Chain A
Amino acid sequence: MPSTSPSGSFDFERLTVRGVSRHYGRQRALSRVSLVAGAGEIIGLLGPNGAGKSTLLGVLATLIAPSRGRVLYGDRPARELGAALRRRLGYLSHDLQLYPELTAGENLEFFARLYGDTRPAERVAAALLQAHLTDRAGDRVSGFSRGMRQRLALERSLLHGPRLVLLDEPFTGLDERSVGDFVDRLRGLRAAGCIVLLATHDLDIVDGLLDRAVVLRAGRTVPLGDAGGSLRERYRAAVADDVTARSLRRGTARTPGGSVGGRSELPGDDWRARTPSDA
């Protein structure tokens, strides 16, 4: 990966999320999420709609500031790093961040140049090849199918060789063959030492691909048991357990003379116990 400016020299091997909360007024999007991810890991963010997966990815991409808690890239916070950190981030949002009026090649070229690539033409050609879109390079994105856009957008977000790859629902609209290619692409990123965080619903696709999974529910992490069975079964069990545990605790809290005051007064006291990925 050629660095074209001195700010490109920053790199990191580890991503640490410590007790990150984000709320909008009274609305909570994330609540004390903690996780650690290292180079060469693919981590799944699982959970129902509105669980906070996209918000978490937004926080990790430095687009959203956490209300509380810290995110460390290596051992430094985003605030200190600015543009040098953004050079190491690849982010594919659910909306694909492509300009439909531009051709596939123009989209890629624009972003390659924006990232200060010195030889954008070669970079674009390689990306088009990866996306199997070389023969469609001159066609406008508005005429592409969702799957083609998805492949293009993925290569767009990987164009600059990021260390941290954040993917929001990347399997939407992909056909079976594309999914296979995509999974291979992710394995390649893992081999290259990327940290990949992947928010998804498609548990069957990512089963066996993920090194670890973090389940989010209503903005909180929920422990995912490591008992046998497929990822889907474990996920179902985890969410069901959490629903029961939560309603039980709410139940206790409403009992007169219940243990409200007895619970830990310090915020952040017990999140470690609940976070599977902190180990």
Chain B
Amino acid sequence: MTRMTGRWSIVRLAVAAVMFAVAPLLIAQAPYEATMGLVAKIVYFHVPVWFMMFLAIFVCGISSGIYLFRERPAADRLAVSAAELAVLFGAMGLTTGPLWARVSWGAWWVWDVRLTLALILEMTFVAYLLLRKYGGPGSDKLSAGLALFGMFNVPIVYVSVNVWRTLHPSTTVVPTLGASMAGPFWWCVLAFLALFLVMLEGRRRLADQEAELDRLRLAYDEEY
């Protein structure tokens, strides 16, 4: 079993590495956006990162639901792996966003719909990790409840922030992607997806091994 999964993870890692190696070439030869200059290229990094955050949130929410109602420990291990990735990709998005915003909007932070939504979701999943770390025994189930709530909250937060923000003057229009930019863009999305899968699988296997270690320790304790 380990040999097979080991081989597969090497394949996945290789695919991700190749895709990331090629990505800069594609991005470099994509058309130069006149008004924004070089900073516009951040879209190839920034947007795929957000996609991965949402993917992580839904993986976490759904597997948390399975853990809560079916009590499968494996689902919990997948959930915690996905939650960490949601926080990680969220942090990447929240770091790269302001870089672009500084040039485009003239401020590091603007209460834009997507920015605010991202901040709230990031906080939800940081709360998830805090609960697991400081909640003591049994907090796995409690954090599963939080993840489920967090997932269902995504559309509601989006709508509320969207309407709230339209009360304020909107600053600028996000540039739309031309056809020549779409190719490199989707390539980057797939590259991040490959990275996401490698990391999720790696983190999940770590959690599996921790659980196995706990099981062995308990078995040893029980025996002697």
Partners in one complex: yes
Give A contacts to B, CB under 8 Å: 21, 23-28, 31-32, 65, 220, 246, 249-250, 253, 263, 267
* Total A-B contacts with CB atoms under 8 angstroms apart: 30
Interface size of B in residues (CB-CB distance below 8 Å): 11
Q: Is the CB of B137 within 8 A of A24?
A: yes
With most chain A CB atoms within 10 A of its CB, the pick from B138, B214, B217, B223 is B223
Pairwise interchain contact A32-B137, C-beta atoms closer than 8 A = no
From A26, A65, A249, A263, residue with most partner B Cβ within 10 Å: A26
B149 CB to nearest chain A CB (Å): 22
A253 & B137 in contact (Cβ 8 Å cutoff) = no
Docked-complex contact B224 and A220, CB < 8 angstroms: no
Docked-complex contact B222 and A220, CB < 8 angstroms: yes
Contact B214 A26 (CB under 8 A): yes
Query: Smallest CB-CB separation from A246: which chain B residue?
Result: B224
- Cα–Cα distance between A24 and B141 once the two chains are bound (Å): 12
A to B CB contacts below 8 Å, 7 in the list: A24-B137, A25-B137, A26-B214, A28-B221, A31-B221, A253-B223, A267-B219
Min CB–CB distance B221 → chain A (angstroms)? 6
- Is B223 in contact with A263, judged by CB distance below 8 angstroms? yes
| Cβ of B158 to closest chain A Cβ, rounded Å | 36
A28 to B137, CA, bound (A): 11
Chain B residue numbers with a CB within 8 Å of A21 are: 218, 222
The one of B71, B214, B217, B222 in contact with A32, judged by C-beta atoms closer than 8 angstroms, is: B222
What is the CA–CA distance of A256 and B217 in the complex, to the nearest angstrom?
Answer: 19
Identify whether the interface residues of B are mostly helix, strand, loop, or mixed.
helix
Within the complex, what minimum Cβ distance (angstroms) separates B77 from chain A? 13
Q: How far is the CA of A73 from the CA of B45 in the complex (A)?
A: 58
Cα distance A25–B224 when bound, in Å?
19
Cβ 8 A contact of B214, one of A25, A31, A249: A25
Chain B stretch 167-224: residues in CB contact (< 8 A) with chain A: 214, 217-219, 221-224
* Bound-complex Cα distance A70 to B53 (A): 40
- Which residue of A has the minimal Cβ distance to B138? A24
B222 near A31 (CB under 8 angstroms)?
Answer: yes
> What residues of chain A lie closer than 8 Å to B217, measured between beta carbons?
26
CB neighbours (8 Å) of A220 from chain B are 222
Chain A residues contacting B222 (CB-CB under 8 Å) are: 21, 28, 31-32, 220, 267
The answer to whether B218 touches A249 (Cβ under 8 A) is no
How many Å from the CB of A32 to the closest CB on chain B?
Answer: 6
Shortest Cβ distance from A24 into chain B, in angstroms?
Answer: 3
**What B residues does A246 contact at CB under 8 A?**
224
Please, how many angstroms separate the alpha-carbon atoms of A180 and B149 in the complex? 52
Which of B71, B137, B224 is within 8 Å of A249, CB to CB? B224
Taking a contact as CB atoms under 8 Å apart, the answer to whether B138 and A26 are in contact is no
A270 to B197 alpha-carbon distance, docked (Å): 43
- In the complex, the answer to whether A28 meets B223 with C-beta atoms within 8 Å is no
User: Which B residues touch A27, using CB under 8 A?
Assistant: 137
- Nearest residue (CB) in B for A249 is B224
Q: A213 CA to B84 CA in the complex, in Å?
A: 48
A246 to B222 Cα, complex, angstroms: 10
Task: Give, as a whole number of angstroms, the nearest-CB distance from A235 to chain B.
Answer: 22
B214 contacts A250, CB within 8 Å? no
Q: List residues of chain A with CB within 8 A of the CB of B224.
A: 246, 249-250, 253
Bound: A117/B222 CA distance, A: 45
Using CB atoms, name the residue of chain B closest to A264: B223
Q: Is the CB of B218 within 8 A of A23?
A: yes
Report the minimum CB–CB distance from B133 to chain A (whole Å).
12
Q: Across the interface, do A26 and B223 meet the contact criterion of CB distance under 8 Å?
A: no
Q: How far apart sit A26 and B210, CA to CA, in the bound complex (Å)? A: 10
Chain B residues with CB under 8 A of A28: 218, 221-222
Which of B71, B219, B221: most chain A CB closer than 10 A?
A: B221
B217 to chain A, nearest CB (A): 6
Residue of A at shortest CB range from B221?
A28
Known: A24-B137, A250-B224. 12 other contacts (CB 8 A): A23-B214, A25-B214, A26-B217, A27-B137, A28-B221, A31-B218, A31-B221, A65-B71, A220-B222, A246-B224, A253-B223, A267-B219
- 8 closest residue pairs by CB, A with B: A24-B137, A31-B222, A249-B224, A250-B224, A26-B214, A253-B224, A23-B218, A28-B218
Chain B residues with Cβ below 8 Å from A250 are 224
Bound complex: CA of A251 vs CA of B221, how far in Å? 13
How near does chain B come to A145, taking the closest CB pair, in angstroms? Answer: 33
Contact of B218 among A26, A65, A253, A263 (CB under 8 A): A26
A27 to B218, CA, bound (A): 8
Separation of A18 and B127 alpha carbons in the complex (Å): 38
Q: How far is the CA of A199 from the CA of B152 in the complex (A)?
A: 44
Shortest B90–chain A CB gap in Å is 27
